[in-house]
Amino acid sequence: MTATAPADAQPMALVRVPDGQGGYRHEFRPVPPEQPKKKRKSRPKPDPIEANPDSAAQQLQQIIERRERLEEEKAAIADDIRDVNAEAKAVGFDVKAIAAIIAMRKMNPDMRREAEAILDTYKTALGLA
């Protein structure tokens, strides 16, 4: 037959207790009920814009101004390219051919030779060469 503890009985634990003579003895003592763990409230990290709104606003303004300057420079360069193309056309050069040559000059020499060989092959196959 086994003995069962009543439902309301506290759990017991065997603990080591000093015996007063330099040694220890073991006793059964009730286990204290577990305390619910308290959740530590973590402080939210401050939003950099809210923490220093002047700095964030200044930084945003600088970025926007830089972008606007670059857009203006881009438009000016596009105007310059149109002027050069108009000059080349006025002298009698083909602007499309100039654009093709510029694209070819940007290529790696090996890639350029390969593209030219493929083009020659296609032209021969179509009877254009």
Q: How many domains does the chain have?
A: 2
Mean pLDDT of the chain: 86
How far apart CA 122 and CA 129 sit, in angstroms, is 9
The pTM of this model reads 0.48
Is the predicted pLDDT of residue 44 greater than 90, yes or no? no
Same domain (yes/no): 105, 129:
yes
Res. 3: pLDDT tops 60? no
More confident residue, 79 or 14: 79
Reported as a single tens digit per residue, the pLDDT across 57-102 is 888 889 999 999 999 999 999 999 999 999 999 999 999 999 999 9
In-domain check, residue 66: yes
Are 101 and 112 in the same domain?
yes
Share above pLDDT 70 across residues of the chain, in percent, rounded to a whole number: 91
Per-residue pLDDT averaged across 5-34, rounded? 78
Mean pLDDT within 4-33: 78
Q: Which of 69, 96, 107, 106 is nearest to 77 (CA)?
A: 69
List the domain range (segments joined by +) for residue 59: 49-93
Q: Phi and psi dihedrals of 47, rounded to 5? A: -70, 125
Residue 57's pLDDT is 82
What does the pLDDT read at residue 35?
79
- 74 and 88 in a common domain: yes
Q: Are residues 87 and 59 in the same domain?
A: yes
- Indicate whether 19 belongs to any domain: no
